[in-house]
């Protein structure tokens, strides 16, 4: 079993943040503050606690503000992947950044979700679960009962071996928590234009190589202005350090 711990990460921060207007008329969504901290900093700090040395952050809308915000960060250090000319969606952004990410498995993190750890940092636990011999993608998953700000249904069903199938809204399913470990081999021959990670999730399901790990703690997503006070209330209730 190969349990290589990722040392790099891709942070997806290039979205338009339209649902967060009017706040995002002047700042990009990843810089919206929750409990005094920009959304993306919750994720970058979680990566630091997991031992990640370098993160690649993609930018598009008001990307200069994000680049300035992370310019002096050392842990992890940040490299910008500029998508100002064309928004590439989740997988397209990763494909463009592959030369910066290297040949080893890496974390993928959404910039608008985070979680409140209970004990072991969730990204460290995800890395401990990773096995590149049997997995192409490993997703962090949240329970509906321990989520704030989520307005949809579930995403995946988790079997006894940790393999995933689409839940198609089954209430017994789990939510994709916006964090994963992926092996870059899945992008071999990938198109260079805009496209979604969902096609790679489905391909990994078909080959039995999409796995999941259940998050311990509370998961928070912030999609609209009215989700901000809910997120801040969840942080205030948390007894442990948030990540």
Could you read off the pLDDT tens digit of each residue along the chain, which spans 243 residues? 556 679 999 999 998 888 889 999 999 999 999 999 999 999 999 999 999 999 999 999 898 999 999 999 989 999 999 999 888 999 999 999 999 999 999 999 999 999 998 878 999 999 999 999 999 999 999 999 899 988 888 999 999 899 999 998 888 899 999 999 999 999 998 888 989 999 999 999 999 999 999 999 999 999 899 999 999 999 998 764 444
Q: Write down all domains in the chain, each with its CATH number in brackets.
A: 8-237 (3.90.550.10)
Query: What letter would DSSP give residue 59?
Result: E
Contact predicate 193/240, CB 8 Å: no
Q: DSSP states of 130-191 as a string?
A: --TTT-SEEEEEE-GGGEES--S---EEE-TTSBEEE-TT-TTSBEEEEEEEE-GGGGTT--
pTM, rounded to two decimals: 0.92
Phi/psi at 222 (nearest 5 deg)? Answer: -125, 105
Name the nearest CA neighbour of 11 among 167, 50, 144, 119: 50
């Amino acid at each position: 079993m190969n349990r290589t711990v990722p040392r790099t990460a891709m942070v997806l921060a290039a979205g338009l943040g339209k649902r967060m207007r009017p706040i995002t008329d002047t700042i990009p969504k990843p810089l919206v503050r929750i409990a005094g901290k920009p959304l993306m900093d919750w994720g970058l700090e979680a990566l630091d606690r997991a031992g990640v040395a370098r993160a690649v952050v993609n930018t598009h809308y008001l990307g200069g503000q994000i680049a300035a915000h992370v310019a002096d960060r050392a842990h992890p250090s940040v490299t910008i992947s500029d998508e100002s000319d064309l928004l590439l969606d989740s997988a397209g952004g990763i494909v463009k950044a592959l030369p910066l990410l290297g040949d080893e498995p890496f974390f993928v993190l959404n910039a608008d979700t985070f979680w409140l750890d209970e004990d072991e940092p969730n990204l460290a636990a995800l890395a401990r679960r990773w096995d590149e011999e049997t997995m192409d993608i490993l997703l962090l998953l949240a329970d509906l009962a321990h989520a704030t700000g989520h307005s949809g249904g579930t995403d995946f069903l988790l079997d006894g071996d940790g393999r995933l199938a689409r839940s198609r809204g089954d209430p017994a399913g789990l939510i994709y928590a916006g964090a994963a470990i992926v092996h870059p081999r899945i992008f071999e021959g990938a198109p260079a234009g805009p496209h979604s990670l969902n096609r790679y999730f489905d391909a990994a399901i078909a080959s039995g190589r999409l796995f999941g790990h259940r998050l311990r703690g509370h998961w928070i997503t912030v999609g609209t202005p009215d989700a901000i006070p809910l997120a801040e209330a969840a942080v205030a209730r948390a007894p442990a350090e948030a990540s």
